A and B are shown apart, each in its own frame.
Chain A
Amino acid sequence: MKVVVCVKQIPDPADPGALDPETNTLKRDTKLILDESDSYGVEMALQLVDAAGDGEVHLVSMAANNEVGGLRTALAMGASSATIVSDDALGGSDALGTSKVLAAAIARQEPDLVLAGTESSDGYTGVVPEQVAELMGLPSVTFAKSISIEGGEAKIQRQTEAGYDDVECPLPVVVSVTAGVVEPRYPSFKGIMAAKSKPVDELDLDALGIDAAQVGWAGAGQEIVAVDEAPAREAGEVIEDDGDAHERIVAFLDDLKIL
């Protein structure tokens, strides 16, 4: 079984850098790391391949300058190989531009299953997995909390507000995995050493047969027109206990429709 996992490499949230005032996008000239929200997809893929008894996990990522810092972490966790797509023309890509690139890179792998996080920790658009599915003409299942492969079908528990749906779906399928549903393994020193020699295929737009006008700033259908500071947190309401505090707290929560 071949599982492809979409992996985003992002600036370290502990040291996120700054926005470029000209483009209102995040500067990505620092070292990039594996987006934690993608580590769940990687873990789930590794578990599925283990359960299947054979197969491999391939990673697909798009980043500037063939950056592989985050990919190496996922390879150290146990993925077999990776594709990194870099091209100067990709700067400024919106979600759809990114999806076009990922879809083309994934298709080359002819996977049985494609996994992605539900959304990245730096952009939070939350639409890339679904766009990739549409572009590839594959079914899309979102917010998976568990996946098993039985009889050539994916059986997926899909989280909902009320609980979860049981979804059965023919392969191949693109599934987005909710953060926190599995415990990502730690890359061991042995894994880190092994990752050094795992193959990483470096591709550009030409190699994928994508017209530069369809991606990057040129192809972006969305524009960030302004960025505002998040409003400062307002002071909360302090309820002094004169014997009826519990009633006032209940009323307060009731007003918020939490109860």
Chain B
Amino acid sequence: MGYPRQPSIFLSEEHDAFRTTVASFVQREIRPHADEWEAAGECSRELYRKAGAAGLLGLRYSEELGGSGLDFMATAVLAEELAKSDSIGTAVSLMAQSEFALAILADEASDEIKARWMAPAIAGELIGAIGVSEPGAGSDVAAITTRAVRDGGDYVISGQKTFISNGTRADFITLAVRTGEPGPKGISLVVFPTDTPGFEVGRRLDKLGARASDTGELYFDECRVPVANLVGEEGQGLRYILSHFGGERLVIASFAVGIMERLIELGLDYAAERQTFGSPILGFQTWRHRFAEMATSCEATRLLAYQAARLLSDRDPAGDLAVSMAKLRAAEAVQSVAAEVLQLHGGFGQMEESPIPRYYRDVAGFSIGAGTSEIMRELISRSLISTINTNPTNKETAR
């Protein structure tokens, strides 16, 4: 039984054809390896090359770099379908490359950086990561302390990063460093090649979910990187990071939509087959109505995500608010659907031989990564308050 997806006014026939491409990629290249990669803590390097050859790693980037020159609607479809692979970790690995590590480079980096790092990453020849979080700085990006000190034609970088997706084996990292004063204005981004002397990968972190995504601690000890690797302008790093969170948040929201489709599909199959008290579970109104709730929740989230994708594609300032709402709603919706579908499966839903417990664990992080739900609420409320009133008293409330 497939998920009864409605036609969407946001998508074209070409998006539907592309969805078929990604679905068959997932079916052929990811699902057969999902268990193996989840256990190994990483997907194969070969998968990046295959994804590159299928044009999945550079959807939004220019054709000169091997990309497809599309917009966030294509990203949303890609993320939805990758999320159905029964290995969110693998989906995270691919998107951490295509959307997180490369997005800022596409908009801000020099042509030399694009040719040297972006083009091979789009082809799947190199693996990229984005390195922002530190032990003392997660949501509070402005608090990072990893330092980059100018010395002749180089930056000398020392510090530590953590929770870095693709971190243990990335070939390069789009790295947030402090080049100036403490606070938001002293942050810059550099492209950091991981074969630089002084760089070390610490522990591979053992996570609750998304286990096929390798997540690492990274150490930098007086690593010398040419100043030419600076992305855009010095001191603008925080602005670049904040202005590109939209893509990451859209990816998480779209992952959630794809997972909800997959869980509802798995749930309907099980509910139609599983007999209790002489009737399939689907015969009980309590479950039929819960499916109705789940499907409605999935579709509402999808609409928020598509609306955000449209606005982000148009570089409409309203895109940030829309994507914050989409991500907040998506995390809560998918966590609720995962709990419901686990409940539906009863004892079987707790068995590792079914994909249900894996999804249940995977979605726990959706309210944390790429901006916590608390941060989303803060962003949404600030946006609301700033639009309804400019009265100084109310401004105070908004803090």
- A residues with a Cβ closer than 8 A to B are 14-15, 72-73, 76, 185-193, 196
Contact = CB atoms under 8 A, between A and B. Distances in A.
15 contacts: A15-B2, A73-B17, A76-B21, A186-B54, A187-B17, A188-B55, A188-B56, A188-B68, A189-B21, A189-B59, A189-B68, A191-B55, A192-B14, A192-B17, A196-B14
A189 B2 contact: no
A188 B53 CA distance: 8
Contacts of A192: 14, 17-18, 21
A14 B24 CA distance: 12
A185 B24 CA distance: 11
B21 A188 contact: yes
A243 B216 CA distance: 50
Interface in B1-58: 2, 14, 17-18, 20-21, 24-25, 53-56
Interface of B: 2, 14, 17-18, 20-21, 24-25, 53-56, 59, 63, 68-70, 74
Nearest to B69: A190
B2 A190 contact: no
Given A14-B2, A76-B17, A196-B14, A189 B24 contact: no
A190 B55 contact: yes
B14 A187 contact: no
Nearest to A77: B21
Contacts of B69: 190
A189 B53 contact: no
A186 B49 CA distance: 13
A73 B69 CA distance: 20
A14 B2 CA distance: 9
B389 to A, nearest CB: 44
Contacts of B18: 189, 192
A186 B24 contact: yes
A189 B25 contact: no
Nearest to A15: B2
Contacts, number: 41
A15 B69 CA distance: 33
Contacts of B68: 188-190
Contacts of A76: 17, 21
Question: Closest 10 A-B residue pairs measured CB to CB?
Answer: A188-B55, A186-B54, A192-B17, A190-B68, A189-B18, A189-B68, A186-B21, A192-B14, A187-B21, A186-B25
A189 B55 CA distance: 7
A204 B182 CA distance: 75
A189 B14 contact: yes
A235 to B, nearest CB: 20
A189 B63 contact: no
A14 B17 CA distance: 16
Contacts of A193: 14
A88 to B, nearest CB: 26
Contacts of A189: 14, 18, 21, 55, 59, 68, 70, 74
B278 to A, nearest CB: 24
Among A76, A187, A188, A189: residue with most chain B CB under 10 A: A189
Contacts of A185: 53-54
Contacts of A73: 17, 20
Nearest to A191: B55
Nearest to A196: B14
A193 B16 CA distance: 12
A31 to B, nearest CB: 10
Among B17, B24, B53: residue with most chain A CB under 10 A: B17
B349 to A, nearest CB: 25
B21 A72 contact: no
A192 B24 CA distance: 15
Contact of A188 (B20, B24, B54): B54
A196 B54 CA distance: 18
B125 to A, nearest CB: 17
Contacts of A72: 17
Given A188-B21, A188-B56, A189-B18, 11 more contacts: A15-B2, A73-B20, A186-B53, A186-B54, A186-B55, A187-B21, A188-B55, A189-B14, A189-B70, A190-B68, A192-B17
Contacts of B2: 14-15
Nearest to B17: A192
A193 B63 CA distance: 13
B17 to A, nearest CB: 5
A196 B55 CA distance: 17
Contacts of A14: 2
A73 B55 CA distance: 15
